[in-house]
Chains A and B, each alone.
Chain A
């Protein structure tokens, strides 16, 4: 099971706890994970990536296994530790003031 950590405001918006779980085809990708969590929580559509283009919103970052995946292709396979659930995919609101 893949684990996903959402930022505080999106947890409140989706009425979920700190971590979500989802499943995707192997190997998991950021795009597939976002598809899965948006399907389960439609209120998140447009909040992490733009409607239409599906581009990452400017102040959103993706961290995986202590590495910044924000600028990687969303079709790139994520590390095994994400696929196994040993590590969560972290969706982060960029540090940009209060």
Chain B
């Protein structure tokens, strides 16, 4: 029987939640790396027992931890992230130029095929690659040539937070940066192109249609439809049908099109999930009701999923890396909140229950479906 391992990163440590394929009874680990900010944990698709974790601290800096036994034991494998050459400057909050400074790793994306290869998205925004299981890291610095001087930090900083591989074209992948936009490489990271046509940011940028500077919060893809991408932007839920060559708005009847995560059902490429948040000024659900919204039409038409979720007095947020799906049938949907709850739906989002209620603020949720 299949089993599920949920990797949860929080402000004060990491937790591993495990269940059998029924996803009804859960075991919660003791805190791992207690007291550290655990921005992201993710397992290697090529070797599910290999798990990478980003451990970070304002005091002691960055560390990449690796487990080769599914999270039972860990090894601190690497922490040296150097920008290639002289990194120069990017745009600061007030429009002036500001030097690039490494702060932390927001997101780790293991290669789908090679367990020794893993990519890391950094703040200040840059993409790093390791080919030795996380011990040494090299920057793919051409990304910053894609008008990096115009990138600017959002409220949470300026980071590469999303890395999406095209499963049909090994040299094509996408990154998303707040606040810069979406970038695509077709040659394994040697060159990059800005891919923001159709994005509009009328309250954030002097030119709403600017080529660079959009605050993209998350992008997602179904592996069977690699040219179709979904985006939760600062405001607006967007869709591309042409590999990010162009984007159009599919926010439709959402109560708010502001939010952070977006994800795609494991078996239905037109079924997508978002968690609307009231606004960029008020990072909590509209009306105090925690609602996941599902579209079965690839956007535009949305339905609220509320069974088992708090429908009054709820003022948590769901951050961009804090939603994931498993690959069981029916598909399991998972998300974590800044209030420390981790919710699961074992039936495509129809019904929800909390796995954990009182963890530290959740930064990231990833799911491994184990044979």
List chain A positions with a Cβ less than 8 A from chain B: 7-10, 13, 43, 45-48, 50-52, 57, 59-60, 93-94, 96
Contact = CB atoms under 8 A, between A and B. Distances in A.
Contacts of A50: 61
B61 A46 contact: yes
20 contacts: A7-B60, A9-B35, A9-B57, A9-B59, A9-B60, A10-B60, A13-B76, A43-B63, A45-B80, A46-B62, A47-B60, A47-B63, A47-B79, A48-B60, A51-B82, A52-B82, A57-B59, A57-B61, A59-B58, A96-B59
B36 interface: yes
Interface in B17-42: 35-36
Nearest to B65: A13
Interface of B: 35-36, 57-63, 76, 79-80, 82
B79 A46 contact: yes
A59 B76 contact: no
A94 B59 contact: yes
A63 to B, nearest CB: 15
Nearest to A46: B79
Nearest to B57: A9
6 tightest A-B contacts by CB? A47-B60, A59-B59, A93-B59, A43-B76, A46-B79, A51-B80
Contacts of A96: 58-59
Contact of A60 (B35, B36, B59, B63): B59
Contacts of B60: 7, 9-10, 13, 47-48, 57, 60, 93
Most chain A Cβ neighbours within 10 Å, of B60, B62, B80: B60
B56 to A, nearest CB: 11
Contacts of A13: 60, 63, 76
A91 to B, nearest CB: 10
Given A7-B59, A43-B76, 19 more contacts: A7-B60, A8-B35, A9-B36, A9-B59, A10-B60, A13-B63, A43-B63, A45-B80, A46-B79, A47-B79, A48-B60, A51-B79, A52-B82, A57-B60, A59-B58, A60-B60, A93-B60, A96-B58, A96-B59
Contacts of B63: 13, 43, 47
Contacts of A48: 60
Contacts of B58: 59, 96
A79 B267 CA distance: 67
Contacts of A94: 59
Nearest to A51: B80
Contacts of A47: 60-61, 63, 79
Nearest to A92: B59
A54 B35 CA distance: 25
Contacts of B35: 8-9
A62 B235 CA distance: 46
A44 B223 CA distance: 40
Nearest to B58: A59
Contacts of B62: 46
Contacts of A45: 79-80
A29 to B, nearest CB: 22
Nearest to A42: B76
B19 to A, nearest CB: 28
Nearest to B63: A13
A10 B61 CA distance: 11
Contacts of B59: 7, 9, 57, 59-60, 93-94, 96
A46 B76 contact: no
A50 B79 CA distance: 10
Contacts of B80: 45-46, 51
A7 to B, nearest CB: 7
Contacts of B76: 13, 43
A41 to B, nearest CB: 10
